[in-house]
Amino acid sequence: MQSENRFFDDLSRIINGAAGTLAGVGREFEANAREKAKLWMNGMDFVSREEFEAVKAMAATAREEAENLKARLDALEKGAAPVAASASKKTASPGRPKKSAKTA
């Protein structure tokens, strides 16, 4: 009877040791995989989250500024449309030469 208990005790110790070893191998594999992934990611031209957020904010500001400028331009064009139409109906005075695109 004593030999059976000893056999099972030894077997359980071996299994526990193997499980601990496998767990250690798994942790080591995970650490190595993380390190390889970091090296691979650093080799690529990825930007950090902070840089991305900064550029995103700059783009939003530029977009808003462009929209404001477009609104101002539309307002100016609406105001200048009647003036431009009446100016094209007038003829140039004979004493004044027209400006060419080269001299402007």
Give residue-wise pLDDT tens across range 59-91: 999 999 999 999 999 999 998 766 555 555 555
Q: How far is CA 62 from CA 3, 12, 68, in A?
A: 83, 69, 10
User: At 17, which helix (H) or strand (E)?
Assistant: helix 2-43
Show me where the domains of the chain are located: 47-84
Nearest 5°: phi and psi at 95?
Answer: -80, -15
Question: Percent of the chain beyond pLDDT 90?
Answer: 46
From residue 10, alpha-carbon distances to 15, 16, 18, 66, 92 in Å are: 9, 10, 12, 78, 113
